[in-house]
A and B are shown apart, each in its own frame.
Chain A
Amino acid sequence: MSKDRKTSTGSGILTKIVRNQCFIPLIALLLLVAFNLIADPGFFKITLADNSAGNPVLSGFLVTILDSGSELAILAIGMTLVTAASGGQDISVGAAVAIAGSVLLRVLCGSNSRPETLQAPIIVAFLVSCLVAMLFGAFNGVLVAYFNIQPMIATLILYTAGRSIAAWVNNNELPVISEPSFKYFGEFIPGIPIPTPFFIAVACMIVIGLVLKFTDLRLYTEAVGINQDSARLNGLDPKVVKVLSFVILGVCVAVVGLIKVSRISTINYSVIAKDIEMDAILAVALGGNALSGGKFNMAASIIGAYVIQFLTTTLYKFHVQSDALPAYKAVVVIILVVLSAPKVREWLAGLSKRSMKKEAV
């Protein structure tokens, strides 16, 4: 037995690597890096320069990826859980980000849309927006879990109505925050040259990592996603587990809302976080997670999020017009998603096994 194992170690490790869910997003990342290296190594240039506030900060394409990709990574965390538990996706996250951001501004500004000083501490405003986003998440979750509506259809409601609700929260005005410390969340903290969203994303990853380690979230979510009848007979309540996943996504939405609004110190209801749900879903798919639910790999989703942002930034760099961007992206995405489909991964794993055998012969 042990002898067998030894002789097959070489192909075993390779098969294991190929089968690992992080393999495809990492390969995609490597390809994008290689492409940029060949096309224009300037892509990787990072410079240290003073920004408008007079702080020395890093800038360059890689920093942009780290910055914007972090928003996506945070949403990918919640989207992965929703996908795993409900076997569907939430398409309302962009609209929900608008609502969370709008609520945040409303609490910070009070009745005056251009206050000299903040009307409430930022932490309070954030907690309120968090609560609102969780409530909207619970709303989606209840539609899905208790009324058995397809997740995409259920969240279509908020997708449609969300931005009007966001505008209504502030009476359709555009509040502007003049307080400079509010900008720290979406840009830079003085003295630290790395964009703050990255630190926020890392914090989120640590939190979800701890939650997955110290609670049963993974087992419950996967059991419900794979076989909810069986999960119920084991004492789980599939409805509660599904709603919980949507509520957690709500928290992620509130965090991204804070970053988005902080970046520009105001809000644009129709543009903020537009189409971000599609990128978040793509990140989950690119991570090789079955969109029909069940087992999930959080790390793969998070890497997937940064890869998507890498792709977007690469396309911008090559002056693809913003109108044409989605078309280019679609082509690349099709390739990536097909490659990360479980079927193709099995096939690749088989291929590597066979080639190893040939070498051995």
Chain B
Amino acid sequence: MKENVVLEMRNIHKSFPGVRALQGVDFTLRKGEIHALMGENGAGKSTLIKVLTGVYGKDEGAIHLDGCEGAAAIHSPQDAQKLGISTVYQEITLCPNLSVAENMFIGRTRGVGQNWKKVNADTDKILRSLDIPAKPTQQLESCSIAVQQMIAIARAVDMECKVLILDEPTSSLDEQEVEKLFGLMRNLREKGVGIVFVTHFLDQVYEVCDRITVMRDGQLVGEYAIKDLPRVQLVSKMLGKELDDMSDIKDEQQEYEKEEGIPPVLEAEGLVSDAGIKPFDFHIDKGEVNGFTGLLGSGRSECVRAIFGADRVTGGTVKMKGKPVKINRPLDAMKNGIAYLPEDRKMDGIVGDLSVRDNIILAQQVLRGFFKPFSKAEANKIADEYIKLLSIKTASADTPIRSLSGGNQQKVILARWLFTHPEYLILDEPTRGIDVGTKVDIQKLVLKLASEGMSVTFISSELDEMLRTCSRLVVMRDRRVVGELTKEDLNQNKVMNTIAGGEE
């Protein structure tokens, strides 16, 4: 093993039924470095970390640790901990109703007796050495989330940890708290701990990290020193698009000519929800297709959820066709002619045990009201009509939706919203995890609907798809809108540059 290397993962393979989650991934962590692990959804970051911490077994490959002869045997999270690999997750896994000192030492004592004076003194020493602003006797829940996070890290580090994994530790912190956390991370770096930092925030990576490993589709893209990888390059590597690859997208680009004198179908000003996005302005015209783009976690879904009232709206005004409206819950949005196909099909979209028929009529049925149910004959007619229209592959309208394939489930949800005859349709990742044929169908359908006068907001992780369908892109970074691109600016280079930001 090379000098200074604390952790070396070589040729890691891991498959789940139907998915090859990791295909020959290497990862190297050196002493005293902060190493960012980057990748979009499905890149394999979390699988890699779960293999490292013993949550999953690996199919192939080897893990070497500094100070261990041969390959390390990690079969359970306990093994990983014994070998000095600690993980701190996004959610705090400590006990809020115990004191700071108790949390630091819980589960680490031998025998029955416990010298609390000593424990408190030890804790105080650790907290001081790491500059954590908390008292040992303080109850954990009285500390801020950031401090709790830091205590979780301190606890992990104190257990003789050589490798510290921070899995999105900053998601629920504000800017000042993030600064404090970074201070602690730098402090630990000085002490020689190797830190793996998983985050979606580009700014944070460039602020605190020394090295970046990029993954995509279960494969290693490469390992880079931070100074050798400009932001745009990083974005391009994460998305798997070459910067100068202009391809033929120009020809397929959508142009949209606004009709004069008509107020926008929807116009939002300073809209903000409790899901952690910064206030944003947004508008969409009749027959327009636009989209939110940005990396995963940049806040694109949160924006459309705020428009639909799916998250709690905390501020801002919304006008529809020039008239102010109040949208506080999904039903308000639906009554105003807005439809929303959610990002997480399984959790938020389908009602699994209900039949395809019931899933199709659900939204319109709610709009019609409690006392006006569709008769069975009506419902069957509607279901058959949409099954035919969208060529949904199902044994019958009576089949439970959960037994359909992902693509067909998505079509059913699409049918549900089309049946409400919306003026404004929001599609959040409608093409994720479905086959290519269905993807193309959905894109075509979006363009057809728009030509018929429906306004559509389209979100996709695949930039090609967005560029093909949208005539305007709202670009997001770190939960705020950072740009809006139209016409000649709608190309991969420009989009990736705007997503990356910082150095134009």
Chain A contacts to B: CB under 8 angstroms: 213-217, 219-220, 222-223, 226-227, 229-237, 294-295
Q: Would B362 and A219 count as touching, CB distance under 8 A?
A: yes
In the bound complex, what is the Cα–Cα distance between A234 and B372 (angstroms)?
A: 16
Q: Which residues of B contact A215 (CB under 8 A)?
A: 370-371, 373
Chain B contacts to A: CB under 8 angstroms: 308, 310, 329-331, 334, 340, 342, 347-354, 358, 361-363, 365-367, 369-373, 416
In the bound complex, what is the Cα–Cα distance between A219 and B374 (angstroms)?
A: 11
Query: Given the interface contacts A234-B330, A234-B363, A235-B366, does A226 sit within 8 Å of B354 by beta carbon?
Result: yes
Q: Would B365 and A230 count as touching, CB distance under 8 A?
A: no
Can you give 25 A-B contacts (C-beta < 8 A)?
A215-B371, A216-B365, A216-B366, A216-B370, A216-B371, A216-B373, A219-B365, A222-B351, A222-B354, A223-B354, A226-B351, A227-B347, A227-B350, A227-B351, A229-B348, A230-B348, A232-B310, A232-B329, A233-B330, A233-B342, A235-B331, A236-B366, A237-B329, A237-B331, A294-B353
In the bound complex, what is the Cα–Cα distance between A235 and B367 (angstroms)?
A: 8
Closest B residue by C-beta to A232: B330
Closest A residue by C-beta to B342: A233
In the bound complex, what is the Cα–Cα distance between A199 and B358 (angstroms)?
A: 34
Q: Would B371 and A230 count as touching, CB distance under 8 A?
A: no
Further contacts, 5 of them, CB under 8 A, given A223-B358, A234-B366: A214-B373, A223-B362, A233-B308, A233-B310, A235-B363
Q: Would A223 and B351 count as touching, CB distance under 8 A?
A: yes
Q: Which residues of A contact B329 (CB under 8 A)?
A: 232, 235, 237
Q: Which residues of B contact A222 (CB under 8 A)?
A: 351, 353-354, 358
Q: Would B348 and A295 count as touching, CB distance under 8 A?
A: no
The 6 A-B pairs with the shortest beta carbon distances in the complex, nearest first, are A235-B331, A235-B366, A234-B363, A235-B334, A227-B351, A216-B373
Residue in B310, B369, B372, B373 whose Cβ sees the most chain A Cβ within 10 Å: B373
Chain A proximity of B343: nearest CB distance (Å): 11
Chain A proximity of B353: nearest CB distance (Å): 5
In the bound complex, what is the Cα–Cα distance between A233 and B417 (angstroms)?
A: 11
Q: Would A219 and B352 count as touching, CB distance under 8 A?
A: no
Q: Which residues of B contact A227 (CB under 8 A)?
A: 347, 350-352
Q: Which residues of B contact A223 (CB under 8 A)?
A: 351, 354, 358, 362
In the bound complex, what is the Cα–Cα distance between A229 and B371 (angstroms)?
A: 23
Q: Which residues of A contact B416 (CB under 8 A)?
A: 234
In the bound complex, what is the Cα–Cα distance between A295 and B370 (angstroms)?
A: 18
In the bound complex, what is the Cα–Cα distance between A222 and B352 (angstroms)?
A: 10
Residue in A214, A226, A231, A233 whose Cβ sees the most chain B Cβ within 10 Å: A233
Q: Which residues of A contact B358 (CB under 8 A)?
A: 219, 222-223
Chain A proximity of B333: nearest CB distance (Å): 8
In the bound complex, what is the Cα–Cα distance between A295 and B369 (angstroms)?
A: 20
Query: Given the interface contacts A229-B347, A229-B348, does A235 sit within 8 Å of B330 by beta carbon?
Result: yes
Chain B proximity of A226: nearest CB distance (Å): 5
In the bound complex, what is the Cα–Cα distance between A231 and B353 (angstroms)?
A: 13
Chain A proximity of B257: nearest CB distance (Å): 33
Q: Would B334 and A295 count as touching, CB distance under 8 A?
A: no
Query: Given the interface contacts A215-B371, A216-B370, A220-B370, does A234 sit within 8 Å of B362 by beta carbon?
Result: yes
Q: Which residues of A contact B347 (CB under 8 A)?
A: 227, 229-230
Residue in B329, B342, B351 whose Cβ sees the most chain A Cβ within 10 Å: B351
